[in-house]
Amino acid sequence: MFNKYTVLWTVWVLLSLVGAYQVIPTIEDGIPDNLNITTGPFVKIGHGYYYIEIKSTKNWFDAAESCHRIGAHLIAFETIEEWDLVNQYLFNNVIDNVYWTSGADLANQGKHNWFSTGEPLTLNIWYPGEPNNLNGIEHCDALGDRRSVTNYNVLNDMNCESQKLYICERLYPKTASIVIW
Ligand SMILES: [Ca+2]
Ligand SMILES: [Ca+2]
């Protein structure tokens, strides 16, 4: 009999607790501005976090592996806003060279996708006449080679084996929090 009341009392306490507090888990994109978290070596540009290698040149495959080693991928430009913001950042900081992106047509010749996301490269960010697969050996897409003042940089398919700098992009951080109400 005692055990029965103990069980009932325990259930009541648990129900009271559940009734008194609403526990609301939430997951949001990004990091709240009031949290002082160091995201280095990644720099925040717009909503994205990027690592720009400005010293060590590598072939495209090696560059991709280097990004993976720091929990990132070669950059993919999903929107023209991202393209503009990153290029403005490079321009403002006088980071002026040629950088591997994740763009490539290694899977299907002539069809350039962002290798890091699998999505097709649909933005009009190519230099006129590119991608041209020059000499039949250009399958990896590099950003750079500023050729006009209005367009900071351009995209060009190049030989994947050539040594270039590169830009990695970290998948958006998420903030998990629990609200107890
Ligand atoms: Ca991106
Ligand atoms: Ca080319």
The verdict on residue 48 lying in a domain is: yes
**The domain containing residue 159 runs over which residues?**
28-180
**Residue 1 CA to ligand 2 centre (angstroms):** 84
The verdict on residue 102 lying in a domain is: yes
Ligand nearest to the CA of 46: 1
**Residue 86 CA to ligand 2 centre (angstroms):** 21
**Residue 172 CA to ligand 2 centre (angstroms):** 30
**Residue 77 CA to ligand 1 centre (angstroms):** 5
For ion ligand 2, residues whose CB falls within 5 Å: 130, 132, 134, 138, 156-157
User: Of 128, 140, 145, which Cα lies nearest the Cα of 60?
Assistant: 140
pLDDT in tens, the chain (181 residues): 557 767 767 766 666 666 677 888 888 877 777 777 788 899 999 989 999 999 999 999 999 999 999 999 999 999 999 999 999 999 889 888 999 999 999 999 999 999 999 999 999 999 889 999 999 999 999 998 666 655 567 899 999 999 999 999 997 777 888 888 8
- Residue 85 one-letter amino acid: L
The verdict on residue 86 lying in a domain is: yes
**Residue 172 CA to ligand 1 centre (angstroms):** 9
User: What is residue 177's predicted lDDT score, i.e. its pLDDT?
Assistant: 84
User: What is residue 12's predicted lDDT score, i.e. its pLDDT?
Assistant: 66
pTM of the model: 0.79
* 79's tokens: 């929107």
**Residue 131 CA to ligand 2 centre (angstroms):** 5
User: What is residue 71's predicted lDDT score, i.e. its pLDDT?
Assistant: 94
The verdict on residue 129 lying in a domain is: yes
CA distances from 47 to 39, 56, 171, 181 (A): 13, 26, 10, 30
Q: What is the CATH number of the domain that holds 38?
A: 3.10.100.10
Domain count, the chain: 1
User: What is residue 152's predicted lDDT score, i.e. its pLDDT?
Assistant: 64
Residue 113's contacts (CB-CB under 8 Å, 6 or more residues apart) are: 103, 104, 105, 107, 119, 120, 121
